[in-house]
Amino acid sequence: MSEHGRTTRRGFLFGIGAAAAALVALTAGQSFGVLSPLNLFGPRRQGAGPQSLPVNRTAEQAKVSSRALDPSWRLKVVDGPSTHEYSREHLLALQQSEAELPIACVEGWSTDASWRGVRLRDLLASVAAPLDSAVRLTSLEPKGHYRVTTMGPEFAHDPRTLVALNVNGEPLDLDHGFPARIIAPGRPGVLQTKWLSTIEVLR
Ligand SMILES: Nc1nc2c(c(=O)[nH]1)N[C@H]1C(S)=C(S)[C@@H](COP(=O)(O)O)O[C@H]1N2
Ligand SMILES: [Mo]
């Protein structure tokens, strides 16, 4: 191997070592109070955060606060050419269901909460979506990796999958996805869409 090749490999291995050390320092910050200033990921301790639930990304960080608090917000349920719009008051007037489900974040925490809201499958039934239809969920977030997600029919039609309006007995905190968010069983935290804007039926 050429001298150049060896140098490159050494540099590469050093890069991996440095990245691993940085990761250990960051994740250690989540476990040890003394290192908490190093915790760049925000409030992740069990029980920390509003409504006894950690926050992954705040409304301010996601730049959604003004849209999320706008009284003209409507949840749009789109099926081809037809769109149904629901205000938060309208959603609260529909039949409410409850589910005890965790938020399980890949960054290293999982916290149970009790959620209340409208079953996603009830909203889908109101637009006569077929039971084998998947859905595309879009957040109010202007940009970000979790702005648009898709959900297969097995989750979309599960009776525990909610468009959640309340958590732990209170209206959703802005940081937990007010005015409405998705909560579904058996899904990673990244797919539990906050600040829900649109539900599209994928036929
Ligand atoms: N729109 C949107 N939804 C989102 C996120 C986000 O950044 N934007 N983060 C996800 C991640 S990674 C997790 S773990 C959960 C955290 O929910 P919580 O902050 O209410 O605990 O929300 C998910 N939903
Ligand atoms: Mo997460």
Instruction: Check if 193 has its Cβ closer than 6 Å to any atom of ligand 1.
Output: yes
Can you give the residue ranges of every domain in the chain?
A: 3-38, 50-202
pLDDT digits (tens, 9 = 90+) for 182-193: 999 999 999 999
The single residue listed with the structure tokens 């006894």 is 52
* Beta-bridge mates of residue 137: 149, 199
Is the domain spanning 50-202 CATH 3.90.420.10? The answer is yes
pLDDT digits (tens, 9 = 90+) for 32-41: 444 444 444 4
Q: What is d(CA 139, CA 199) in angstroms, rounded to the nearest whole number?
A: 9
pLDDT digits (tens, 9 = 90+) for 63-113: 999 999 999 999 999 999 999 999 999 999 999 999 999 999 999 999 999
Q: Which ligand is nearest to the CA of 145?
A: 1
CA triplet 152, 104, 62: central angle to 5 degrees? Answer: 85
Q: Read off the pTM.
A: 0.81
- Indicate the residue type of 2: S
CB of 117 within 8 A of CB of 96? yes
Nearest atom, ligand 1, residue 64 CA: 1
